[in-house]
Structure 1
Amino acid sequence: MRNKLGTSTLAITPITLGAWAIGGAMWGGNEEADSLAAIKASIDNGITSIDTAPVYGMGYSEELVGKAIKGYDRSSLQILTKFGMVWDQVRGDFAFERKDNDGVVRSIYRYGGYDNAIKEVELSLKRLQTDYIDLIQLHWPDSTTPISETMEAMQRMLEEGKVKAIGVCNYNGAQLEEAEKTVRLASDQVPYSMLKRKIEQEVVPYAQQHELSIIAYSPMERGLLTGKYNSAYQLHEDDHRNNYFKQFDLKKVAQLTDHLTEMAAGYNATIAQLALAWVVRQPTVAAALAGARNARQAAENAGAMQLKLSAADLRQIEKWLAE
């Protein structure tokens, strides 16, 4: 079960493994054995598409993916990665500071320069232990580099056979239009969930008009829509979600998750599976990224691919969200 990305020849699974959390420090750490098991369990349960990035653990996430996919038929997998978030160099737009897995504070910059793009992809190929990447994506827009320069680098990768399709992340409508003066994009990876629907105003209409696919990240709002996290739950002190969750009214979110839990029970499903299934049913969405820190979570995510929400329940969810 796979969905085609835009007009490209690439198709990915509607639930795609998001390998950010297994990258380490920003999520309070994770055991390597559990991370490898999560990747393998995803593949074994039908999630053959994996999305990662160099900045996730400063290369660690990509290395884990490379280790985990050994022994699998590479042609049966779809590896998605990114470039354009650099550390140990002052270039582009400053993004944030984060501790790496050794506790060292790193300054991260958004940078999409031509030479850097080529260099990053070569490093990703080595970490992933593969000779091609299925979907290469610019991780974030970089105002210091012309969009055409970045797209020309990606087009070169495509022509050289190092990548199979080209995508971007976090692009708005105007940026998508500018990029497509140089290349044909397959996808735009953007935040999308029941609680965050801004892309419906501009990005989704563009995608519908130009045969572009949406890859939705944070469809469960980094765990918030699982019903697990509330005001009484204590996250690890280094977990970035301590700040991230502050943007939401947790009391209202709890009311929503209570409703969703009851609906999910009618499908013999979890609330997390319901949240993923809702995102995948939205217009132009080819896949929802779902993180997994162990084999159990990976298998649960895969179950969302079998969940078919009724039209009546989709309307009911819309009513709850309107409230």
Structure 2
Amino acid sequence: MNNTPWLVIGAGAIGLFWACKLQTLGHKVHLVYRSENPGKKITLESFTDESGNQQSTISKHKIKSFTAQELTERESTEKYDKVMICTKSFDLKDAYLQVASQITEDADIACLCNGIGAQEELQHALLETQTLWAGTTSEGILKVDINHIKHTGLGDTYFGQWIETTPAKTFPLDNLTVTNIHQRVIEKLAVNAIINPITALFNIHNGDILNEEYKSLLAASFIELASVFSHPKFSYIEQSKHLTSNNIKNRINTIAQLTRLNRSSMYEDLKLQRQTENNFISGFLLKNSPIELPIQQLLHDGIAFPEHREENKKKLLSIT
């Protein structure tokens, strides 16, 4: 067992999952929650094994948990040199700042959030001697209670330095380091920019996006995103130019089928009237695109402005 604990910030589905996974890998883990105390034990219900085979298992994980205030007020000289922030994009920077005094000056700080923009905000808040590892994951996780999660689908998780160094560093967990994290973040953005707002607006599961009634909307969305990702004035052109319409279509089809019974995070947020990551997904594209994106505009506005939601839904379904 490694002696230095990981600090996991965020007790949503992803945060609870990684707290359990890190413990399974032999690490000590401390968990920071904001509003709901997960208690002393977290239940992880898995429906697949590490090879992707169907196998239902239930495991219990005893993990120390604190609020940010409790963590900073503890009578301890221990500081954390490995941190994983699993909050929403809009909370990422503040989550770090709330516990920054408890983090070492040379810490590895990882983040798992949707969209683009929050990583840069966090990078500016870090010390120059700290390393930011941006991550992407396709694990299927559902939170069914404050201390109970279901692992519904096996996926991949990767981390890469947001700002590369020479020589390159290695992420403190084996076999998760990549050198093209910006490309992977853009690829995840392409998927989220379609699946998340459509499932949220039309109140459907991920797999339902492939139904006939959304076929024209999806086809037009693939073309629109490909047009910005291939545009020479797009700021991420070197990382996004491979995302053709067919490439995006194949990614959406694969993810929608693999997570067909899952509900997107934006679906859950909209249903529970919580703030969404809309501004870091469609909002990022609208802000950074050198061309007009009428479909992304309708998707963004449908989420952002409830009073125009039904009108925008009708416009989206009339797209041919």
**Fold agreement, TM-score > 0.5:** no
* TM score, norm. by length of structure 1: 0.31
Query: Which has the higher Rg, Structure 1 or Structure 2?
Result: 2
